[in-house]
Structure formats: structure tokens, C-alpha cells
Amino acid sequence: MRDFQAEKQLIRDYYDALDTADDADIAAEIGRITGPEYRWRGYHPFGELTGAEAVAEQFWRPLRSALRRLQRRQDVFFAGQNEMDAGGVWVVSMGNLMGLFDAPWLGIAPTGKMTILPYCEFNRIEGGQITETAMYFDIPHLMVQAGLSPFPPQTGAHVMQPSPAPHDGLLFGPHDPAEAEQTLATMNRMINDIGRWNSGLPLTEELARSWHDDMIWWGPCGIGATYTIERYAAQHSGPFRAGFTDRTKTKHVCRLAEGHYGGFFGWPNFTARPTGGFMGMPATDKAGEFRVIDIYRRDGDKLAENWVFIDLLHFWMQQGVDILGRTTGIAAGAKP
């Protein structure tokens, strides 16, 4: 039985070293555990970076300079075998990066107050090294904390994404692989339903196939969180389906589970064409990519909670709207 303990410990040791490193040593700490072709995928405006120095210089050093005394506060941690064609063992960490917002970041003016940046990170482990990372983080959530309004009023609630209801999301030890198989099966049933958009059932009945009635969808800033199948259908799933056409099939780079937790990410997950308006924005009729990370908690034979990271800044850039630039006054293409 594969328990992924070595891979988990490698990531835990890496986080300890990275989070306590001096700014001058960040690239060295990343380089110590990554190869020369290390691939890092991040939220707009960072995109895809290659190599430890690029990741340190463009993301970690500026963030650490802006959010002083940065803490990593994990809520979910698990590992497993990727069931997609890319394969490999991946370790997932989700939570918040918290610090004192004392210097500008991405053109966002500092507040001098405690500020959080919700994040989720997938790391692929090969030969005792991290070979690729997908790290999504909710920049608009930080913008709202800084007093900015990047989007029109959202359909869900703007809240801080909390830890799982049972407070058991940190899977540092080994877990029964049968539980992971059941979690993956439940996720795949849900993915199949979403991917069709034409199950022939009313939306709430379709959702009830995979979700508990008191489900919680912890959506990103700009869409927001929603509670119960009925409200999720009314406040996100229904409006989303009504606002798009030509949705492509779902494609994931990585999909895995351990215990009652699982997740996936794509680059992109799918494309769709906004024809009915979305997030209070006008329809553009231009196909756009959705880069998404989803983390799930299964309870019994259905899903109970879902934490969602969507690179909405990237999506709207494809529609000709520079959300970050127009909100901060920093033009698109400026160095992060």
C-alpha cells in the first residue's frame, strides 16, 4: 500500500525552510528542492514561470516584501496518485498566507493591517524533487481587504474561506486507499454531470446526485460563497450556465484524492463563450479560458464542501478587461 508519507514530509520540510528563509535565500531554498526545468503555474499576472530564480524574483520576494512577517496557515493537506494521463504523485496544500500589508504589491496600496491571501498549491514530486507546481491565489480577495472593488456586486457572499467543518483536513499521516477511491468516484460522478450541462434533470435534482443538501460552495471573490443546493443553484450554478455557451469538455492536468479529500486543477479546465453576461459584466461573445482549482470534502457518498479558486483576472483579460490594471491604475504588462 502506497502511503505517500515521503512525499508529504518532503513538502512539509520545504515549507518550513521556505517560510523561514531570508529574502536573499528564497531562490536557493526553492532551487534546493526543484530541478532546472521546474515549471510553476500561477494566477494572473504571473502565469507560467520556469526555474527557481524566476519564481523567487517574480512571486515570493515581492509578496514577502509586501506582506511582512508572512505566515502559512494550512487548512487542507493531502497527497495521492494523479489519475490523469500526466500521472505522478502530487501533494496538495490549501489555506491562507497571512501577513502585515506594509508595502505595495501588484499596484495595490498597503493598508498596514493584517491581510490574508487565500491559496491552493499542487506540487508534483519526482525523484525526491518538486518538478512542477500549480499555485492559485485569490488576488481580488486581497484587493477587497485593501478597500478596492475589482468586480460588480457578486451573487454569493464575500467571506473568508474557513477550514473544513470537521477540522480534519490536514492529512499528515497515512489513510485507507479505499476512502480515496470513493472520494474520486464521487468527484468523477459530479464532473460528468457538470461536463454535460444537459442531464435532462432540473438543476437542483442534478446537483443532488453528487451533493448533500447542506453543501457549501466556497467560491472566489467576484462570485462568492453559497450554502445549500437551492442557493448554490440560484446564486452561482444556474446563472453561470445561463451566461455561457459552447463550453468545452473538462480537462484536468491533475486529479487526485486521499481519505475524504480530493481536488483537481486544469490549465485551462475548459473554455466557454460568455453570451448572457457573467459577474455583472457585459457579454463579449469571446471564448475564454477558465483556470480552476477545486478542493472537495466528501461526507459518506456525497460531496459536502468545495473550495474554489478561479483565475478570474486571466479570464477577464481574455475578454479585453484588465481588472487589476483598471482598479489599481497599473497598466497591463507592468512587472509584478
pLDDT of residue 221: 97
Q: What percent of the chain has pLDDT over 90?
A: 89
The 8-class DSSP code of residue 46 comes to T
pLDDT of residue 1: 62
pLDDT of residue 196: 61
Give the pLDDT confidence of 146-201 residue by residue, as tens digits: 999 999 999 999 999 899 999 999 999 999 999 999 999 999 999 988 766 677 78
Same fold, 5-145 and 177-328: yes
Q: What is the CATH number of domain 177-328?
A: 3.10.450.50
pLDDT of residue 193: 84
pLDDT of residue 35: 87
The answer, yes or no, to whether residue 133 has pLDDT greater than 80, is yes
Could you state, in order of their start, the residue ranges of all structural domains in the chain?
5-145, 177-328
Assigned fold of 5-145? Nuclear Transport Factor 2; Chain: A, (3.10.450)
What is the pTM for the complete model shown? 0.95
The answer, yes or no, to whether residue 324 has pLDDT greater than 90, is yes
Q: 277: pLDDT confidence band, cut at 50, 70 and 90?
A: confident
Q: 238: pLDDT confidence band, cut at 50, 70 and 90?
A: very high
Taking CB atoms within 8 Å and a gap of at least 24, the contacts of 166-173 are 166/297, 168/260, 169/75, 169/76, 169/77, 169/78, 169/94, 169/261, 169/297, 170/74, 170/75, 170/76, 170/77, 171/77, 171/78, 171/79, 171/258, 171/259, 171/261, 172/8, 172/12, 172/77, 173/5
